[in-house]
Homo-oligomer: A and B are copies of this chain.
Amino acid sequence: MKKLINDPADVISDALHGFAAAHPELRVDFENRVVVRGDAPVRGKVGLVSGGGSGHEPLHGGFVGPGMLDAACAGEVFTSPVPDQMVAATRAVDGGAGVLHIVKNYTGDIMNFELAAELVAAEQGTEVVSVVVDDDVAVQDSLYTAGRRGVGATVLVEKIAGAAAEQGRPLAGVADVARKVNSSARSMGLALTSCTVPAAGRPTFDLPGDEMEVGIGIHGEPGRRRVPVAPAHEIAEMLVSPILTDLDFTGGDGVIAFVNGMGATPLIELYVMFHEVAQLLAKNGITVARSLVGPYITSLDMAGCSVTLLKADEELLRLWDAPVSTPALRRGV
């Protein structure tokens, strides 16, 4: 295993300290492993909390800041944070207007966020609403999930619901927007290589040098099938086609097209993929209204990419375009 780390047991603590040093405008609660917006709680604003296993950076801590999340909990690598972390995060961002939990659909995350919401409601009377993200069309159930996995759409939910909260919408309204993004978005991913979990010290799965895994999950969970390595235009077809089969993306005000890097794939390859995706969309009569290209929801050092499409309307585009100021996503200059 070749990684820029110290003891594998210290990776998350070390990274959080580095994150805090690099982003002094945010607060980091090291004991609870929670990243909090510097001016939280913002009085009268709905607080947005997300979190999940580490290893998907910049998700979620890199999306904390004005216009996006108020707090993010970092679990162990690929492991849900515990309820105590979520309770600490929820308390830290409760500005009196309620708190939205944005939860990727994995069994552990769902259970722990539910428990945390109950605890905070009982102890403090904080109103908490949860929205579950389950946009992955690759598999119906998986290693860690009943139903579809939450993947790339999480980034779009956090950005767009974050903008709605920043505008002062009430909790029910912010939750509605988050659900609308999730229900209008679909994703599919592909791995060229496995990732290596630091504590394990070896690749999570074996993938021969001439094969790729189509429909991979962000923790290395099995996808749909293994196929021989193929050119980018065929890969784009393998990812876009199941997405378009699952939801009609024509009409409306076009799509937000998101080509995401899995962690070890350089930007030049993501732009090659974006070119292929954009051509396929054009061929299918779908307009690209906005785009996002880069490593935003990763899987440690996995090579590969995912495609997320969000069917947009004027409201979603306006919220997408709204100012945001986080370590990983800034807009509105």
Contact = CB atoms under 8 A, between A and B. Distances in A.
B332 A272 contact: no
A54 to B, nearest CB: 7
Contacts of A4: 192, 232, 235, 265, 269-270, 272-273, 304-305
Q: Give the copy number.
A: 2
A2 interface: yes
Interface string A58-92: 10001000110000000000000000000000000
A285 B232 CA distance: 49
Contacts of A291: 21-23
Contact of A275 (B7, B17, B231, B269): B17
Contact of A272 (B5, B266, B273): B5
A129 interface: no
A15 B231 CA distance: 14
Nearest to A298: B266
Given A2-B192, A22-B278, 14 more contacts: A2-B193, A2-B303, A4-B235, A4-B265, A4-B273, A4-B305, A5-B269, A6-B276, A14-B276, A15-B268, A18-B274, A21-B278, A22-B271, A22-B291
